[in-house]
A and B are shown apart, each in its own frame.
Chain A
Amino acid sequence: MDKGSKIDEIIEERANGDRIITRARYPHVFREGLDRSVVEEISEIKGEPEWMRRFRLKALEIFNSKPMPNWGPPLDIDFNRIRYYVLPDEVKARRWEDLPEEIRETYEKLGIPEIERKYLSGSVAQLDSEGVYANIKRQLEEKGVIFLDSDSALKKYPDLFKEYFFRIVPVMDSKFSALNGAVWSGGSFIYVPENVRVDLPLMTYFRMNMMQEGQFEHTIIIAEKGSYVSYIEGCTAPIYNVTSLHSAVVEVYVKENAHVKFTTVQNWSRDILNLSTERARVERMGRMEWVSGSLGSRVTMLYPSSYLVGEGATASHLSISLASDHTWKDNGSKVIHFAPNTSSKIISKSISLKGGTTVFRGLVRIPKGSFNSVSHVQCDALILDESSRNFTFPHNEVYEESATVTHEASAGRIGEEQLFYIMSRGLTEDEARSMIVLGFLDDVMKEIPLEFSLELNRLIKLKISELGGTG
């Protein structure tokens, strides 16, 4: 392990033809591969309490004992060729001005300050594995809201952290949740006290900067009784031609009458495997909203789940995915209605083109005794050319007679008549296609952050222009 060595990384990013060059220095570059000593070292560098060190080692054992999933997209991961931890030498900065020049530039190129200005409530941005930019607005502190990167939260609020860490997502949930348990680093920790409303969304921005790097944030959101918070997470990474792994865990605790909106938008580059676990526990009359948009990555497997454990709890799941250039977006939702009068709504919109594959997997379970629970599942797929595909696997398990589950699905292609109609009004074939695709997304566009819808818009137009006159 070459601790302390400084590497100047030159990173190129091609976004819409623009080229962005950034430099970041990495003092702690771990060797590739994963074993007990790597895990112990991570824990030691972070100065973690003993219980966390032991937890990580236990998680590593579970990880080693679990097989890879035998379903879903093809995953070719060489766990020995990933660096599990990278620590930028910059200490955590509280203010924008305190950030080192090159990191500030990176963020500026990513548009972070603009986003910040829009959502003035404060932000924890994450460069690689550490939250280096943490800026919490005074009002939030006064209301008792905690918004920290998870490593700092563990230090500052160890008991609170321990109470919610790997609870709704058990560490043995899957091979990837166990991996997160062993090597997690960063992520956000949000605590909203009883009856506090955080009116502006909290935002964070994750970015991977190194080759063959793993990123394993652990995010925890706790919304106490009657509180409200909206959290937006954006992810991006520069373009390399090596496989990198992103495997986060998100745990959301929605107490009585509380309301949490969790938005993830990712535009990882094409070599990233994005395999995350996201789950919420929703108590009486609580409300959970998941919004996920996935544009980038080579493979995404993401199935946010809601466990509706209290009477009258509701969940809504919206996912929008775009699979192009032979990428695979395996998205879905899982809702378990553990209590009576609970309701859920699942909407999935997917677009595949240029050899992309989109998959929807839905699971709705209503056990006996969850009287009058209702669920509606809608999945719409648009397939733009002959080389692209969509699969839909809805799965409903309803054991309660008074419950209702409705399901609508559509998979379509753009009609020649639609193209001809728009073209007859003077628009090119590409413009016509883009217009139809954006129309397909119209009813969900208002649910997603403006920056994301602009990015989606731009990307759809770009991809369609690359398609050329086929279709």
Chain B
Amino acid sequence: MSLRLELVDVHAEIEGKEILKGVSLTVEQGRFHALMGPNGSGKTTLSRVIMGDRRYKITKGSILLDGEDITNLPAHERARKGLFLTFQNPVELPGVKLFTLIRSSYLVHHPDDKRSFQEFITYVQSKARLLGMDTSLLSRGVNEGFSGGERKKSEILQMSLIKPRIAIIDEIDSGLDVDALEAVAKSLKDTIYTEPKMGVLLITHYQRILKYLAPDTVHVMMDGRIIKSGDYSLALKIEERGYEWIREAR
């Protein structure tokens, strides 16, 4: 059965400041949504609110997963239900080996996996190589001194191993060189489109990555609201003309 994430008129604030001002959105497993919008419009906030960042206060509305209200569920339970978030700027975890994090989180999601420890290492390394990722990163502290691109690859690696049912992917394409972008997009495509297909909400500023991935829907967020949705051509139009015309058209 495919998982369905539904946001109903979600309002969220942080430090007394309202950032999300009524967001309604449905992401179903097997569907690919892109989310675009100017800097500071609330895209990252939305992604965190979906994943359960408790620093944000939801003042109105609700988040449903297959009809179940998860608005107050802690992040790890949302993750266990099949949600995943790749971070725009993933934090450093000094001394926590990337491999340790990968191993622990993998076992949470795949407790019945039959691979031996050694086989698992080999498996992770091969996935990392597909991303053009230096496997020595696995034995370093998570994001500790990682370059921008290395951080993005580590996020995608973790996602492809866990294989969530619905992923929110926040600006995975910024800061990547041309080759890295291609490798990341290819891995994304593999992960997303192999059965069971994933549902995706991909946040980006550029149509470049969308060209590889062909989204079903493109949404535009401005000032804490989704104000326009369309097909892939909307992304092309934004790339060409920016956002002002959308605002003016309203």
Contacts and interface: CB of A to CB of B under 8 A. Distances in A.
Whether chain B is bound by chain A comes out as: yes
B76 A435 contact: no
B76 A429 contact: yes
A229 to B, nearest CB: 31
B76 A428 contact: yes
B2 interface: no
B105 A425 contact: yes
Nearest to B143: A421
Nearest to B86: A424
Contacts of A428: 76
Interface in A392-424: 415-418, 420-424
B94 A423 contact: no
Contacts of B48: 420
B76 A427 contact: yes
Contacts of A441: 95
Given A425-B158, A427-B105, A429-B74, A438 B79 contact: no
> How many interface residues does chain B have, given as a range?
20 to 34
A426 B161 CA distance: 13
A436 B109 CA distance: 20
A124 to B, nearest CB: 35
Given A423-B76, A423-B79, A435-B101, A440 B95 contact: yes
B84 A418 contact: no
A402 B101 CA distance: 45
Contacts of B53: 420
Given A429-B74, A429-B76, A435-B100, A424 B95 contact: no
A439 interface: yes
| A interface, over-half SS | helix
A165 B94 CA distance: 44
A424 B141 CA distance: 18
B91 A418 contact: yes
Contacts of B79: 423-426
A468 to B, nearest CB: 13
> How many interface residues does chain A have, given as a range?
20 to 34
Given A421-B90, A427-B76, A442 B105 contact: no
A164 B113 CA distance: 59
Contacts, number: 81
A418 B76 CA distance: 13
A430 B60 CA distance: 29
A415 B143 CA distance: 15
A440 B84 CA distance: 26
B141 A427 contact: no
B75 A417 contact: no
Given A427-B104, A429-B74, A418 B51 contact: no
Interface in B13-72: 48, 51-55
A435 B96 contact: yes
B93 A439 contact: yes
Given A438-B96, A439-B96, A426 B91 contact: no
Given A426-B80, A427-B105, A431-B104, A442 B162 contact: no
A159 to B, nearest CB: 49
Interface in B144-167: 158, 162
A163 interface: no
B206 interface: no
Contacts of B51: 420, 424
A418 to B, nearest CB: 5
Contacts of A440: 94-95
Q: Which of B52, B75, B78, B109 has the most CB of A within 10 A?
A: B75
A443 interface: yes
A432 B104 CA distance: 10
Contacts of A425: 76, 79, 101, 104-105, 108, 158, 162
B95 A427 contact: no
Contacts of B55: 416, 420
B108 A427 contact: yes
A421 B95 contact: no
Nearest to B76: A423
Interface string A171-202: 00000000000000000000000000000000
Given A421-B87, A425-B158, A436 B101 contact: no
A426 B162 contact: yes
Given A424-B75, A426-B79, A439 B105 contact: no
Contacts of A436: 93, 96
Nearest to B102: A425
A426 B141 CA distance: 19
A426 B73 CA distance: 12
A428 B101 CA distance: 13
Nearest to A415: B91
Contact of B76 (A415, A417, A426, A442): A426
Contacts of B200: none
Q: Which of B51, B52, B91, B108 has the most CB of A within 10 A?
A: B91
Contacts of B80: 426
Given A425-B105, A427-B105, 9 more contacts: A417-B91, A421-B87, A423-B76, A425-B101, A425-B158, A427-B76, A427-B104, A429-B74, A442-B97
Interface of A: 415-418, 420-429, 431-432, 435-436, 438-443
Interface of B: 48, 51-55, 74-76, 78-80, 84-85, 87, 90-91, 93-97, 100-101, 104-105, 108-109, 141, 158, 162
20 contacts: A415-B91, A416-B54, A418-B93, A422-B93, A423-B76, A423-B79, A424-B85, A425-B76, A426-B76, A427-B76, A427-B104, A427-B108, A435-B100, A436-B96, A439-B93, A439-B94, A439-B95, A440-B95, A442-B95, A442-B96
Please name the 7 residue pairs, one residue from A and one from B, whose CB atoms are nearest each other, closest first. A439-B95, A442-B95, A439-B96, A425-B105, A426-B79, A423-B75, A426-B108
